[in-house]
Structure 1
């Protein structure tokens, strides 16, 4: 294919010149269609842009009647242009008018043209418009011409994505990608965040440099990146834990097969030879693939899209030199947008610049949500296609209270949320005024309010909230953010800092709770059918006593001369606690023998989070110094509701009667044995749920720092006896089913309890 300007690479260079010229958006579009028509020896070139109302509007044309620009429009699926937009596939016809989908528009004057080539304008798999060339002669365009037009469409996609064309649109008819978007998801962390989007994933669709000056240099870069990609996959397969057969290895073998697919490689190389940079070529091919696969009905094939996306992202990272979060240039008000994120990843960002977090996955009890709450970062999960909804730099609002996001919000929405932020600040000042007020209910019951923590960044909240102490210190977070297994000395230094920062207030350390969904990158992963029910927490500690002994030694040394409280997670049977206690005592004996100063007093406790333990409470209470209910895991195991699976995580109410009966049984058993009991799950962080816990008999609850103020305000207005009468009446009724939420909400409203 050769035209007046000598082929696609020359056309791309001319287009780049046009894009940098000082001109209005309409003038630039008009020049672009003239250039494309001339290069492809076409008598017509037209650009249709998809609007927010679902119609395709003619934005520019060379060859058709210019008066039809901004007047002619088609719905998605209507006419040949609408068909291309719906199917996201090129359409190449020798006689367009003979096609059953042809829709005649008399104002355009297109009845004299027969041959037709149209391609979708795509970005990250989303259709933004349609680019068309036409000729009077009956002809079928060559594959090279189709490829060239698809490549050219990328330039138009960038122009639409930039928002430049919005000025040409009437209100309500803006280009679809630049429209304001509101989506509801799952609230993960309370708060309101206003800022600008930063795409965490190196996803396809993020490159800005599209046009190459040296195709051979780009091919060399691409080939090097492919070598890096395949080598990384080979390394994964060569690891010791992958040597054995099994489903996990089969998945990686399929992944390697995709990475070596010559069709995929060839399409990317052809795009580079057509004049694109290596990054733009990967983007072009993956955007086309994503658009096709998103429209497939076969769930297996749609699932493979994730594999291809991952491969494209890995290839993009290889081209970029694998830039990580720490090297990202964040704005002062960054809203991090990602498909998913491990709990340690959020800590890689400069903390003072992060205003919010948006995830395509993630549930409220997932560990990234827990970290977000600890950092005070508003977060929303379960936002479908989040990384394709916005561009880096787009204005975004994260409403962690309502579980909503607003992308490119209208001015009135932005003003409303700015006022909401000011209101929250006033409310926080009201909560701050309660800081030194004792946590005593209206009828005189003292409730101990504690914090959940896991990193040094959490510790200033002790002074800010005046909490009574730390009811749960998650020691695994230190391991999850480290590049290698922390040595005993490193662990001791952290635990000592925590105790120093607590300034005599109680701190309860939970021993290492890894396994399941909390994987340490430097430890050999174990493939399990049901990781949440597998080799994790105390099971791993008892089977690999070296890990647990190292931590016990660090804790004991750090608490020299001070009180030490330690609890063991996921205990299922009393004998597991017995073994853990024996291991602890042997370690203390060892330290004593070598002359180390020991803690002044040691309290060993147990997490109640496995339902089997509910039937061993009496012998358990004879052995422990205290118990702590882990409501997150106890709820998921009792209700068979995976807390990381959003399809079922919201299926059961945390105030349902069976769960509350289980909690009450723990309180009663502890009270009977005179054993202190605390609840340290996320359940305690919500005022209404905290009211229920106090009504059940809990007198110590541990929560996220931001919850201290709201929970204290609710408890100060609570008459404990009246609430207990309401709760126990329902729990004592053997025929009662359902949830207490509605009745408790009505009670709170009648009593004037702020929830």
Structure 2
């Protein structure tokens, strides 16, 4: 193998000196390529930078025609340079001109050079340009030369990322780092957010690239790897990590990667070539990500995220940064970008600074998405590539209505969304004016508009939205954001806080609804189920673990001392479940009475109609409970055999269909006959057109997200209920049973001037 004149350490030392000098960007680049050519005994060294229009432009050269700088161009994928940029892989050729991808650029004068070595300029796996050396003689460059050029390319990547080279771009032409990008994801919570990127796992900026003492850096790396491995072992041994399941599998993968000798060897080689331990981690990870991004195997691509997370953890170990520093300096308009995150992690961010959340993964039923909805921020999921394409501080727009994310948006896009936000603000102002007006239709029919909640952060919205009360308080959210089961005292404190915040307005607490898609990592005892939505969950689980239910009943009874308490049971399938739950409540009431506790003034027990079997027990159900609440999301899912978290089925079945509306009408009619109050909570209640259908069916109490109350109330105030009921009855009673209910409702609204 041929020795490099001076070697990579000498080259890095010279580059460090050049970076420290006060130079114009073009002068610095010219001297860098000259230094590389000299060090590697190359007759040519050239730098091509990727522009936003997918063109690679020659930015500096030593050996080619200097007049071709900023004029010579290649498209992404064109020629040897374009091939390197497109594939993010080095190209090492002894006879470049005979390579099928070779493209002749007459302005450069490079046709006389045979040997060619080109490496991508990478940062966080993104290709920002290509660095090339060439010689006239036919020769194959050695591995140490490839490594030296890759290391040098990393230095140039930082120059591009920090904006030093943007001043060299011609007017109207942007570099790829500043290129506007639109990512299409899935809409998980509506709303529009304009702000600046905050990476949940922020890319740590390595400022010290070149080392002074190889042995010191190797020892530092070894110590940090040791700490990293210990922290992973600690997480695996802690009681709050399940012994089986996805959480543990991810940590086991982390442990395997942390002990991977190939990874460690590459880190050590980078240090021996002159980089600090931190820069070595960044370089090796960027190289690995660039290669893995082009793999088609979904399992291997998934492992790329594990490697990324591990590298970020190692960088934090090396730089002595704790997690508390991550969210320390948020902008006032922060939009969080994350591959995935836990519900509790989102709550660590101050709500007043959050404008939105973007996830590369997740589902509409993910814990973090549920919390995001509770916080009232727009959420977009399945936004693949968002994290690697973004930098902290980038301008970003998130559209939770259609699931798009606009990174570094152009001025016209920004202004269009600013107008959309202004329009929404005006509508919100109109809704605020309606807040204190009674929820009564145009023809005098009163309808209770209640709100759904589940966390303390929801409570201020009770007054802000003008809701008549809390129609559904999801008690399980407290369990989902905790690391272990909340103690009885913590539950009691939250429930008392909710009742007091309601200020006399009614609150309906749903007992803990875990299982299915709401998995608690610290809860052991559940076997893996083929179909968790139809499995051991909600009332089934808590009746089998009565200690859970009794603790919650006791906390609710104590919190509601001297006031009314309303509790409802989720996913009831048969009346025996209600009888068992009532028996547990009576035991807790008797126990508290014996010890002299003040009890609630009245206790009402209800059941949720979510399982279709209850539709055939309605008269008996009404005699067994004090009230009924329809869970429209699950009831529709089970009636149509549709997994509501499955994107392939989204929009396939319409809940405003005749069969489903007939089922909803059967419930409210049974309640009216028995004198039992019936409410409905679910997505149907929160959209004006479907809320209109519910009112037409006879529902006089519906519960929704706080943000939906204004639009639904605006619709209600203009609604002639009697006329709607007559029109809807015609469709539901028709023999065909396939009427276009949605079309009828929108036509009715247009005919009567009802805002939807």
Relative to the length of structure 1, the TM-score reads 0.93
| 2:593 corresponding residue in structure 1 | 592
Aligned pairs (5 A) from 1:267-346: 267-319=266-318, 320-324=320-324, 327-346=327-346
Aligned pairs (5 A) from 1:117-516: 117-170=117-170, 173-202=173-202, 207=206, 209-235=208-234, 256-319=255-318, 320-324=320-324, 327-516=327-516
The answer to whether the 8 A contact 1:354-1:377 is kept is yes
Distance of 1:286 and 1:395 partners within structure 2: 26
The answer to whether the 8 A contact 1:363-1:649 is kept is no
Distance of 2:378 and 2:395 partners within structure 1: 16
Distance of 1:598 and 1:464 partners within structure 2: 31
Distance of 2:425 and 2:580 partners within structure 1: 49
* CA-atom RMSD in angstroms: 2.8
| Pairwise CA distance, 1:537 | 2.2
The answer to whether the 8 A contact 1:344-1:477 is kept is no
| 1:27 corresponding residue in structure 2 | 27
1:68-102 Cα offsets, whole Å, 9 max, x none, are: 11211112222111111222211111121121221
Question: Against the structure 1 CA distance between its residues 246 and 439, is the aligned structure 2 distance closer, same or farther, given a 3 Å change threshold?
Answer: closer
| 2:635 corresponding residue in structure 1 | 634
Instruction: Indicate the larger mover: 745-754 or 463-472.
Output: 745-754
| Pairwise CA distance, 1:441 | 1.3
Distance of 2:181 and 2:497 partners within structure 1: 45
| 1:718 corresponding residue in structure 2 | 719
| Pairwise CA distance, 1:50 | 1.9
3-state SS in 1 of match to 2:355: strand
Question: Against the structure 1 CA distance between its residues 735 and 311, is the aligned structure 2 distance closer, same or farther, given a 3 Å change threshold?
Answer: farther
Distance of 1:505 and 1:242 partners within structure 2: 39
Distance of 2:501 and 2:338 partners within structure 1: 34
Question: Against the structure 1 CA distance between its residues 146 and 373, is the aligned structure 2 distance closer, same or farther, given a 3 Å change threshold?
Answer: same
1:442-488 Cα offsets, whole Å, 9 max, x none, are: 22211101111122222222222221101111222223333443322
3-state SS in 2 of match to 1:108: coil
Question: Against the structure 1 CA distance between its residues 609 and 210, is the aligned structure 2 distance closer, same or farther, given a 3 Å change threshold?
Answer: farther
Instruction: Indicate the larger mover: 234-243 or 25-34.
Output: 234-243
Instruction: Indicate the larger mover: 276-285 or 546-555.
Output: 276-285
Instruction: Indicate the larger mover: 215-224 or 697-706.
Output: 215-224
Distance of 1:709 and 1:506 partners within structure 2: 19
Question: Against the structure 1 CA distance between its residues 51 and 665, is the aligned structure 2 distance closer, same or farther, given a 3 Å change threshold?
Answer: farther
Instruction: Indicate the larger mover: 189-198 or 632-641.
Output: 632-641
| Pairwise CA distance, 1:720 | 2.2
| 1:99 corresponding residue in structure 2 | 99
| Pairwise CA distance, 1:532 | 3.3
| Pairwise CA distance, 1:109 | 0.7
| Pairwise CA distance, 1:321 | 4.6
Distance of 2:493 and 2:679 partners within structure 1: 27
Distance of 1:316 and 1:661 partners within structure 2: 59
1:397-450 Cα offsets, whole Å, 9 max, x none, are: 223334332211223333333343333332222111111111111222111011
Distance of 1:274 and 1:284 partners within structure 2: 12
The answer to whether the 8 A contact 1:508-1:566 is kept is yes
| 1:69 corresponding residue in structure 2 | 69
1:133-162 Cα offsets, whole Å, 9 max, x none, are: 111222111101111111221222222223
Distance of 2:411 and 2:245 partners within structure 1: 54
Question: Against the structure 1 CA distance between its residues 573 and 93, is the aligned structure 2 distance closer, same or farther, given a 3 Å change threshold?
Answer: same
Distance of 2:636 and 2:206 partners within structure 1: 44
Instruction: Indicate the larger mover: 570-579 or 436-445.
Output: 570-579
| Pairwise CA distance, 1:360 | 1.6
| 1:698 corresponding residue in structure 2 | 699
1:22-46 Cα offsets, whole Å, 9 max, x none, are: 4433233222222222222222111
3-state SS in 1 of match to 2:183: strand
Question: Against the structure 1 CA distance between its residues 513 and 20, is the aligned structure 2 distance closer, same or farther, given a 3 Å change threshold?
Answer: farther
| Pairwise CA distance, 1:675 | 1.6
Distance of 1:482 and 1:248 partners within structure 2: 15
Distance of 1:752 and 1:50 partners within structure 2: 54
The answer to whether the 8 A contact 1:629-1:680 is kept is yes
Distance of 2:250 and 2:16 partners within structure 1: 42
Question: Against the structure 1 CA distance between its residues 244 and 398, is the aligned structure 2 distance closer, same or farther, given a 3 Å change threshold?
Answer: closer
| Pairwise CA distance, 1:49 | 1.7
3-state SS in 1 of match to 2:343: coil
1:570-599 Cα offsets, whole Å, 9 max, x none, are: 223322222111111111111112211110
Question: Against the structure 1 CA distance between its residues 169 and 245, is the aligned structure 2 distance closer, same or farther, given a 3 Å change threshold?
Answer: closer
Distance of 2:370 and 2:209 partners within structure 1: 39
Question: Against the structure 1 CA distance between its residues 260 and 679, is the aligned structure 2 distance closer, same or farther, given a 3 Å change threshold?
Answer: same
| Pairwise CA distance, 1:352 | 1.6
Instruction: Indicate the larger mover: 505-514 or 314-323.
Output: 314-323
Distance of 1:22 and 1:241 partners within structure 2: 53
Question: Against the structure 1 CA distance between its residues 380 and 17, is the aligned structure 2 distance closer, same or farther, given a 3 Å change threshold?
Answer: farther
Query: Quick check: 1:572 aligned with 2:573?
Result: yes
The answer to whether the 8 A contact 1:538-1:568 is kept is yes
The answer to whether the 8 A contact 2:8-2:148 is kept is yes
Count of matched residue positions in the alignment of Structure 1 and Structure 2: 753
The answer to whether the 8 A contact 1:360-1:381 is kept is yes
Instruction: Indicate the larger mover: 516-525 or 366-375.
Output: 516-525
